[in-house]
Structure 1
Amino acid sequence: MPADPVAKWEEFLRSRYWDDILKLADSYPDERSLKIQFSDLEKFDPDFAEELMENPDETIEAARTAILELDLPMDVYLDRAHVRIVELPRNFKTRELRSDHIGKLLAIDGLVRTATEVRPKIVSAAFQCQRCGFTFFKEQTGNKFEDQNLKCMNQACDRGGPFKLLLAQSKFVDAQKIRVQESPEDLRGGQQPQTLDVELEDDLAGRIFPGDRVIVNGVLKSYQRTNPQQGKSTYFDLFHKGVSVEMKDQEFEEIDISAEDEEAIMEMSRDPEIYEKIKDSIAPSIYGYDDVKEALGLQLVSGFEKHLPDGARIRGDIHILLVGDPGIAKSQLLRYMVKLSPRGIYTSGKSSTSAGLTATAVKDELGDGRWTIEAGALVLADKGIAAIDEMDKMNNEDKSALHEAMEQQTISVAKAGVMATLKSRCSLLAAANPKLGRFDKYEPIAPQINLTPALMSRFDLIFVLTDDPDTKRDSAIAEHILKSNYAGELSTQKPWNPEISQEDIDNALTVIEPAIDPEMLRKYVAYARKNVFPTLTEEAKEFFLNYYVGLRTQGQDSNKPVPVTARQLEALIRLGEASARLRLSREVTGVDAQRVVKILEACLRKVGVDPETGFLDADIIASGTTKSTRDRTKSVMDIIKEVSRENQGPAPREDVLNRAEELGIERSKAEEIIDRMRRDGDVFEPRPGMLKLP
């Protein structure tokens, strides 16, 4: 350590951070942190920067003393100001920490798993001697309250107590504990994510929430394990004393956009090809799927939530379901979208429970052992995108946990005496396979999707992706895959193969080069979500109204199904707002309306059409059965009733089938209806070949 570290800090702060100190003094005490870039300190004096890393406690204390000794032009005493060191040269994972690191200044990278409430922590306790009445202060540095073996500071008294703690004169600071878990993407297969507890104080407390991706700069400390049976252990546990926190992934609305970025964003928005460019920037390594990628682009910006005067809330986030044959890159699309979204969470259906997706009650190990709520994937993805792969493999009870999260965008928990409502304002992007692994082209698509109607009806768009052989398309896909792999091979071999130039790699990578750089696309989306709240023009209103009412008119005939419900109209409005937002427009025009109607129509035609009548039928998604099937089921039930009355007992199955054929119902269809009714418990067989209604 230099002979006078305080003088060294004063010299550094005067030369490099004088303007920042004046700004801090101007906003003190609302702002109490002076952020110092480690690289600036390293350029100023590498040895002093090294000393800061090796002995952070003494060096940072010297910095605080230096701030107090600076001669400021304004009458402010910065006694509660803090020096926050940011952007350390290396970020550590929790599993890389060793005993050599104890007492050093380190940066820990990870995901905030849980955070306690902010509570006051005593740092300087005021004690009053009950014999002579003298008041003195005792600094509280550790986690254990020090009130043992005290002596009165009054020399005339010099007794060992008794002492009374004076709370009014003691000094407190806000404190919070957070638990940081390793980022899921940094783990190798089979590894459990490790966690580290972090203590934050004063103006750092209360700013971090579960789900935030952070870099915590601080001093690594240790404490001895204790066991009630065996006493003190030779093993020690680690914790991190936070000095500063850097947010890695903010919500879209929190991404910093500079003036140059804003200029580039406005330039992009004026480009007539903006929709095409955004499509080409989403998973460029996957060939085709233009309609899906366009919808995913709309999902990134989404509509915006609206609060009505009567207290009702209309969600703005767009939910999309991809159902398709295996091997058509559904999972790749999901993973790419999670990377694009600042708060993206990826989870797979088979390994996810309702507690893991929503929230669960756990014993609070960080605090005082009370029951607390631990957030699940949908809460951690608040204001981002939650991707659920293999959704069809989830248990039905776990799927039902998504209903509230998708429509109301809240998660209500009532467990272990804890009643809470958590926010999950995220867009849901889900992928599922058909029931039998691959779609049967001769059967209607809706019954092949292994999801409950109540869940399916909450998705704004349902894309059905089938893997049909097509020579021209297959050639294009094969060529794209081969080029993508070749580019990957070159970039992997470059470090040890001198014959491969950067130019060769760049030429090969053009096939998977996104039209807009991912970081720029995030800023573009962030700007749109933060600043653009479009309204429907009369033209767009009329177009949506005519489309919706025109479809509903088809269902006015009692023999025809209800084609669409109000949910589809709300989906159209959300998609229209997203379409306008993508080009930073304040108005949803007729062109936007036409674009989104085309996307929704394509989805409805794949999933929501009754194959027998060719009409759109909302009941396929809403209830799982078409109107024509429902009508036939009612006819078969009437026949069973009639035959039972005539026979004065159970109805013979053959008689029912014959009577159904006379009414124009195909025999195979009638048998299928009877079998389904038996499965559902609407009819039973008291003996083989005889049918009876319950």
Structure 2
Amino acid sequence: MEKEKVLEKFLAFLEDFYKDRILLALTEGKSSVEIDFSELEKYDIELADYLLENPEEVLTQAENSLGELDPLLAEKRFHLRFFNLPEDRNIRIRNLRAEHIGKLLVVDGIVKRASEVRPEVYEITFQCPACGELIIVKQEGRVLKSPEVCPNCGNKKGFKQVSEKFYDTRWIVIEEPFEITSGERPSDLIVYLKEDLVSPKMQYKSDPGNRIKVTGILKQLPRKVKGSISKQMEIYLDALHVESVETEWEEIEISEEDEKKIIELAKDPQIYDKLVASIAPAIYGLDDIKLAIALQLFGGEEHIQKDRSRVRGEIHILLIGDPSCLVGDERVVLSNGAMVKISDLGSYHLQQINVPVYLAEGYKRGVAKVFHKYEFQPIIEIVTESGKSIKGTFNQPLLVKEDVKSEFGKQKPKVWKRLDEIKIGDEIRVINWIPCKIKKYVKTGWKKDEIGEKKIKIPEFLDEKLAAILGYLLADGYVQKYRVGCVFNYEELDLMPKFKRLFFDVFGIEPKYYYKKEKGGTNVELVFNSVALANILSFLQTKRVPDLIFRSKNSVVASFLSWLYDGDGSVINSGRGKNGILYKSKDIELLREVQMLLLRFGIHARIYGNNLMIRQADSIERFSKCIGFNSEKKKKKLQELLEKIKSFKKKRHRKMWERIVKIIYHPPETVYDVEVPIYHKFVANGIVCHNTAKSQLMKVASTLIPRARYVSGKGITGVGITATVTRDEELFGGWVLEAGALVLCNKSLLAIDEFEKIDKQDMTALHEAMELGQISIAKANIVATLPARTSILAGGNPKFGRFDPYLPIKEQIEVPETILSRFDLKFALRDVPNPEIDEKILTHIIKARHLEAEKIEPPIPADLFRKYVAYARKNCHPKLTEEAAEEIKRFFLNLRSKYVEGAPVSITFRQYEALIRLAEASARIQLREEVTKEDALRAIRLMSVSLRQLGFEPETGAIDIDRLEGARATAMQRSKIRTVISIIENIEKIQGKEILYDDVVKRAKASGIEDIEDILRKMQQEGIIYSPKPGFISRI
């Protein structure tokens, strides 16, 4: 398109659609107008495309020619700011490439750091010293430009600056707005803002912590390496338009209609239940925790004391939950019948996925939405009577028949049990059939190395012929560095021409023959010499079923199994009880994989030692019908067996429950899980498994109010969770303060998963943020106090892989005591499923039968929820009434009154302040200016739940705050320590300062202290005793 024509069309577009708006903006003192790109697209698609590809050229010409629309525009800098670009122009920062330079794009990100607003010269007028000519030079780039030559007299030096013109500029860095997890580091991009984009009204949008969408032209800057200019370029976005993606508290517009709805909600007696049901509605139950999160979102009231000290209103909550996961090799059954390793369903922790899975409920299907990954978790394995196995974390639940007597004719009740609760003899739910809906062949994805190779065919798809080859090579073949081969027994040489034909059809290669004489005849070895062939089939060196087979349709799987059984299978026909089809292998995992493949055809098989045996009559018939043999010898034997079993065949109900025969403990491994909303279960290794949803609950909570964020403790890098100072001389002019997650979430909520994995330095800084609502930093001549009045919703995993209600919290999670004590509420999020409750879950949640209708509508829509919280925080500031204060005081003093010397302390003044915050938040929900007795009772109930879960001392039956706060020793432990010190003192009178360790243990156990080893270890940790030499202890 010609430049003149482009300008003509563009000015015509502005004349027809935007002239009035441009003139109105001019009269209002504005220097730009926003233009919807979609309107230009409707006007002239060719012109719109030209603008996307050549934005600098088009906009420069158009803005310089605006005087043709009105003379007033000729003397003013006026800008056209386009927005609402096509979807394909929304580019993720990490995907920006050289091809995008010079193009009009949109990027979305969170402002990570920002320079001060500074003036920048855009035009300088120079005077020639020789003739006095005034020369105007436009300034572009980072370096000032002066005239090269005077156009009037030809002079080339001594030019004098007469005047300059400035506009305001700001450099910012934006980071990808995706959750910070351990999977991938978020990419960032420099953005250049100027003129009205940094006006006082617009500046706050580009302050650190705000999420913005920027439309602009991608440009490049040369990098400097040791003072020299590098050939590698730094890219930046020259912004044309900036808009907020997230709504700030101040920006939330509440209409009269919204206000009416909010007031109606506040008056609703069921409002607390509605709020609970609106937080992660797809996750059923956990009502106490959801109510606590609702109170956290609304928040308590900040109090400033007379001495100007601050009592926080932010509520902090800690959730401790076990990650119920499986090891990476366990195969999950997908909804189409494919069986995929759970580790292959995602790549990083909390990755959003969309994988339909099989539920073992007829034709119902679920969808796995979130992928989880946890490192170094203790593992337990259970093995069933048929040889099926599953390996996972201690708390991974399986469906088990309850071990109780049932009435005649009634089935035993079914319960979900954790792996560490399952005993030998328990019966677990298994599947007896895997329905398959796969219709197409799977692509092999193989590529050939042609160096020095004769050309061979490389199959694009895994069909029945290729599956047959893989099956026989896995059973009776081998793959070496330069060749592939297999052996045919002299009794089954009829297989050899069939296999040779298959190999030629698939790979286009002929074999060489080698003969080996045996007692009964001569075996034949076929050898295919090809490096390329050996390379693409190298996966067969590991004697396991190829992943491609597990993803294939039934006809391909049947061909694979048929030839696999031709190699290492046999038919046993020795009489009743000794009949069946056998597959032999030394690799137990291969036997289990074949066993799982047979379920595609409803065939039940059991593992006995190194053999996989099909013995049930209906399964033998199914094998014959769906799989069969290719060897004439085995075909004949199978036919004889089929005739034989007719005489005593009994129809048997296919087993859905199998007994546990072995339990094995393994070293820690990386484990995986997937979240399946609504159903919360999936099938792995032919066994029905349950899953949990702690992380998803935290993610949902972080979306319900402005500025809230979700991060993973292990994934936070660089700035971390607090703040830091970074150096950037080139763009920012020195040291720059860079805000961390807590500062970015000021006056909002920060959800931190894997809290125990936060860097120790950040964990220390958290103390100040949680109690004082600020973060102090002093580095590189920058001394600052940043606001961090942020509510923290933290999630942690027990360090031994499972939550133990009998151990103090400090012994279960790697978090300092000073931090633990700052949480107002702590909950143990244990998934102890119950079939009756699960049935209620499904009845309550499922409102449609199709997967597309999975989304559950909350009673309060998310948009109204945000407005409700904003309205309550802004307009409601409840004060404690005498009645409410008395109720809280009564509860507090009642627990404190149970204290006697040496007994556990039930509650401290820190919990007293937490109760007040929770009661204030409860009142704020109903927009009340006074905290009532009802609010106090609600706060007391939540506090009681927290105290009972994590502060209960099983030995005394009392609540011990030391268990909850993470003190080094609980009251019960301190009591035992005093007894042990007395024992040591008595022995010292006989043995002297150094006393025998075994003597202390013996006397302590006689005094009723069974856990004496733990107590002595605790005393060593606290510096009460030490070991001067092996077998001896001494007091310090």
Same fold (TM over 0.5): yes
172, 175, 184: which is aligned to 1:181?
175
| Aligned match for 1:617, one of 946, 957, 960 | 960
Does residue 490 of structure 1 match 2:867?
Answer: no
* Residue matched to 1:222: 220
Q: Is the 8 A contact 2:171 2:732 kept in 1?
A: no
Mean CA deviation greater in 673-682 or 245-254:
673-682
1:211 pairs with one of 209, 212, 227 = 209
**SS of the residue 2:958 aligns to:** coil
Counterpart of 2:905 (choices 562, 567, 576) is 562
CA pair 296-178 structure 1, distance change in 2 beyond 3 A = same
C-alpha distance in 1 between matches for 2:928 and 2:67? 48
Give how far 1:462 is off.
0.3
Give the match's secondary structure for 2:699. helix
Q: Following the alignment from structure 1 to structure 2, what is the Cα–Cα distance between the partners of residues 346 and 78? A: 49
Q: Deviation string for 1:550-601 (max 9, x for gaps)?
A: 333333x434333222221221222222222223333322211211111111
Q: 2 CA distance for matches of 1:227 and 1:624?
A: 52
Matched residue SS, 1:110: strand
Relative distance call for 1:691 and 1:57 in structure 2 (3 A) is: closer
Letter of the 1:378 partner, please give it.
L
- What is the rounded CA distance, in whole Å, between the counterparts of 1:67 and 1:535 in structure 2? 61
> Equivalents in 2 of 1:24, 1:540: separation in Å?
59
Distance 2:173 2:125 in 1: 31
Secondary structure of 2:277's partner? Answer: helix
Partner amino acid for 2:273?
Answer: E
CA distance in 1, matches of 2:776, 2:299: 24
Alignment-derived partner of residue 141 in structure 2: 142
Give the Cα separation in 2 of the matches to 1:186 and 1:628.
41
The amino acid of 2:117's aligned partner reads V
**Residue 428 (1) aligns with residue 792 (2):** yes
- Quickly say closer, same or farther: Cα 1:129–1:254, change in 2 above 3 A: same
Hey, what does 2:192 align to over in structure 1?
A: 199
Q: Paired residues, what number?
A: 655
Where do residues 505-520 of structure 1 align in structure 2 (5 Å cutoff)?
505=853, 509=855, 512-520=856-864
CA 1:150/1:314 → structure 2, altered by over 3 Å: closer, same or farther?
A: farther
Equivalent of residue 272 in structure 1, options 256, 269, 272? 269
User: Contact (CA 8 Å) 1:126, 1:135: kept in 2 or not?
Assistant: yes
User: What is the CA distance between 1:394 and its match in structure 2?
Assistant: 4.5
Superposed CA RMSD in Å reads 3.6
In the TM superposition, residue 320 of structure 1 has moved relative to its aligned partner by 0.9
Describe the SS at the equivalent of 2:696: helix
| Cα-to-partner distance string for 1:88-126 (whole Å, 9 max, x where unaligned) | 333222345455544343222222232222221111224
**Contact 1:640/1:691 (8 A) holds in 2:** no
Judge which range, 452-461 or 540-549, deviates more.
540-549
Q: CA deviation at 1:213?
A: 1.6
User: What's 1:9 paired with?
Assistant: 14
Partner residue, 1:683: 1025
Q: Is the 8 A contact 1:382 1:423 kept in 2?
A: yes
Match of 2:498 in 1: none
**Cα distance in 1, alignment partners of residues 964 and 168 from structure 2:** 52
Question: Partner of 1:387: helix, strand, or coil?
Answer: strand
Aligned to 2:252: 255
Aligned twin of 1:497: none
1:553 corresponds in structure 2 to 897
Give the 3 Å change call, closer, same or farther, for CA 101–541 of structure 1 in structure 2: same
Equivalent pair of 1:94/1:182 in contact (CA under 8 Å): yes
What are structure 1's unaligned runs of at least 5 residues?
A: 492-504
Give the corresponding residue for 2:466: none
Cα separation, partners in 2 of 1:225 and 1:395, compared to 1, 3 Å: closer
The residue aligned with 1:172 is 166
Q: SS of the residue aligned with 2:295?
A: helix
Q: Using the alignment, how far apart are the partners of 1:654 and 1:194 within structure 2? A: 59
Query: Which range moved further: 250-259 or 329-338?
Result: 250-259
Percent pairwise identity: 42
- 1:341 alignment counterpart: 705
TM-score, normalised relative to structure 1: 0.83
Paired with 2:936 and 2:1012, the residues of 1 have a C-alpha distance of: 43
Whole-Å separation in 1 of the counterparts to 2:190 and 2:759: 33
Answer whether contact 1:251 1:384 (CA < 8 A) is retained: no
CA distance in 2, matches of 1:612, 1:24: 79
Counterpart position of 1:501: none
SS at match of 1:203: helix
The 3 A distance-change label for structure 1 pair 432 and 85 is same
AA in 2 matched with 1:162: G
Structure-1 residue corresponding to 2:746: 382
CA distance in 1, matches of 2:119, 2:183: 40
User: How do 1:568-579 and structure 2 match up within 5 A?
Assistant: 568-579=911-922
Contact 1:354/1:401 (CA < 8 Å) preserved in 2? Answer: no
Alignment partner, residue 160 of structure 1 = 156
Once residues 191 and 440 of structure 1 are traced to their aligned partners in structure 2, the CA distance between those partners, rounded to angstroms, is 32
Contact 1:252 1:522 in 2 (8 A): no
Q: SS of the counterpart of 2:1016?
A: helix
Instruction: Give the distance between the partners of 1:259 and 1:86, measured in 2 at CA.
Output: 30
Query: Once the 2 structures are TM-superposed, how far is the Cα of residue 200 of structure 1 from its aligned partner?
Result: 0.1
- Give the whole-Å Cα distance in 2 for the aligned partners of 1:619 and 1:186: 33
Distance in 2, Cα, partners of 1:518 & 1:450: 35
Q: In the aligned structure 2, how far is the partner of 1:182 from the partner of 1:469? A: 37
TM-score, structure 2 length as denominator? 0.57
- Farther off after superposition, 341-350 or 427-436: 341-350
Q: Is the 8 A contact 1:252 1:529 kept in 2?
A: no
Shift of 1:603: 0.6
Q: 1:239 aligns with which of 232, 236, 245?
A: 236
Report SS of the residue matched to 2:942.
Answer: helix
Equivalent-residue separation in structure 2 for 1:308 and 1:24 (angstroms) = 50
- Partners in 1 of 2:872 and 2:64 — Cα distance? 41
**Residue 995 (structure 2) aligns with:** 651
Q: Deviations over 1:305-337 (max 9, x none)?
A: 344443222222211111123333111111212
Residues 185, 459 of structure 1: CA spacing in aligned structure 2 closer, same or farther, 3 A cutoff?
Answer: closer
* Counterpart for residue 311 of structure 1: 308
Alpha carbons of structure 1 residues 132 and 97: separation in structure 2 relative to 1, 3 Å: same
Residue 470 to residue 444, structure 1, CA distance change in 2 (3 Å):
farther
**2:406 alignment counterpart:** none
| Equivalent position SS for 1:246 | strand
What secondary structure, in the 3-state scheme, does the structure 2 residue paired with 1:524 have?
A: helix
Give distance in 1, aligned partners of 2:808 and 2:219: 63
For 2:168 and 2:258, locate their aligned partners in 1 and report how far apart those are by CA, in whole Å.
37
Question: Which residue number in structure 2 is paired with residue 528 of structure 1?
Answer: 872
Distance 1:64 1:132 in 2: 29
Greater shift, 360-369 or 105-114, is seen at 360-369
Q: Is the Cα contact below 8 Å between 2:101 and 2:219 reproduced in 1?
A: yes
Contact 2:127 2:160 in 1 (8 A): yes
Looking at secondary structure, tell me which structure has more strand per residue: 2
More helix by share: 1
The answer (yes or no) to whether the contact 2:808–2:964 under 8 Å persists in 1 is no
What's the offset of the Cα at 1:283? Answer: 0.9
Q: CA deviation digits over 1:231-282, x for unaligned, max 9?
A: 673x655321111111101333433334443333333333222211111111
Summarize the alignment of residues 417-496 of structure 1 with structure 2, pairs less than 5 Å apart. Answer: 418-443=782-807, 447-468=811-832, 470-477=834-841, 483=846, 490-491=851-852
Which of the pair has more CA radius of gyration?
Answer: 2
> Displacement of 1:374 after TM fit?
3.0
Report the 3-state secondary structure (helix = DSSP H, G, I; strand = E; otherwise coil) of the residue aligned with 1:171: strand
Deviation at 1:191, TM superposition (A): 5.5
Partner SS for 1:184: coil
TM superposition shift of 1:673? 1.8
Give the AA of the match of 1:575: L
